[in-house]
Amino acid sequence: MNTTRIINLFRAYFIEHKKMLLICCLIAFAAAVLDFGLSYEAELSLLAVCFLPLWVVGSFFNSALKRNNSSHFFTLPATTGEKFLNAVLFAVVFAITVQILYIAGAYAGYYGLRPILIPDASNLYERVGGRLFFNGKLELEPYLLYAAALSVFLFGSIYFKKNAFWMTIVSGIGLALGYGLYIWALIRITFEDTTFRVYSISFPYSLDKYIFPIAAILLFLSLTYLRLKETEV
């Protein structure tokens, strides 16, 4: 495993896609400035900060494996593991960068734009910090869930040959509906319940909040590596 090659792959991807990445960063910052400067809920910027990294990561391998670029990608002087680590490193760095820009834009909009347009005395911590902290402590659950989502979309980018981002969304919705119908049918058959009800299954807190997301991250990262290795072969 050569660290220099991983860094070079990271730099090469940034140089090749710098225009798209800079536009995404600008959108995240501008959305936060406008949202926190003009509104109370700031849902638009929160949607942007969640959507943009998923969209970029969800098309990471898809852009490299297009017909015109695939031969170039496969002949890069790097091993499968180095290409995989480069993808994971990029996903983490880009997601953190967008999050930082979101927070910076929130403060810029709240303390810079809002006093000019709509003077307001509400607490910014309740709207920004409150999403990340619980009782004054860092809440890891949202980050684990988002990391799991990133790993799913990264796998989708190598699994689907075209429109990987949208295909991942459609497949996820289809699997969720199929799983829900399977559980509903299984409960109806097992308990002979002929009425239509919404059933829920509760798990221990640590299992539901931490173990499942970590397991999903490890699973989809492993599938991504195996799929990348299979594609190169």
Q: Which two tokens stand for residue 152?
A: 């799913």
Task: For residue 203, count CB atoms less than 10 angstroms from its CB and return exposed for 0-12, middle for 13-18, buried for 19 or more.
Answer: exposed
- pLDDT at position 16 over 70: yes
40 against 76, higher pLDDT: 76
What pLDDT score does 191 carry? 65
Q: Convert the pLDDT of each residue in 20-58 to its tens digit.
A: 999 999 999 998 888 887 775 666 777 888 899 999 999
Q: What is the pTM of this model?
A: 0.76
Between 77 and 35, the higher pLDDT residue: 35
CA distances from 218 to 66, 190, 209, 214 (A): 27, 33, 15, 6
pLDDT digit string (tens) for 136-158? 455 677 888 899 999 999 999 88
The answer to whether the CB of 131 falls within 8 A of the CB of 31 is no
Q: Give, as one character, the DSSP assignment of residue 204.
A: -
224 pLDDT more than 50 = yes
pLDDT tier at 172 (50, 70, 90 boundaries)? Answer: confident
Question: First-to-last CA distance in the chain?
Answer: 19
Name 137's bridge partners: 134
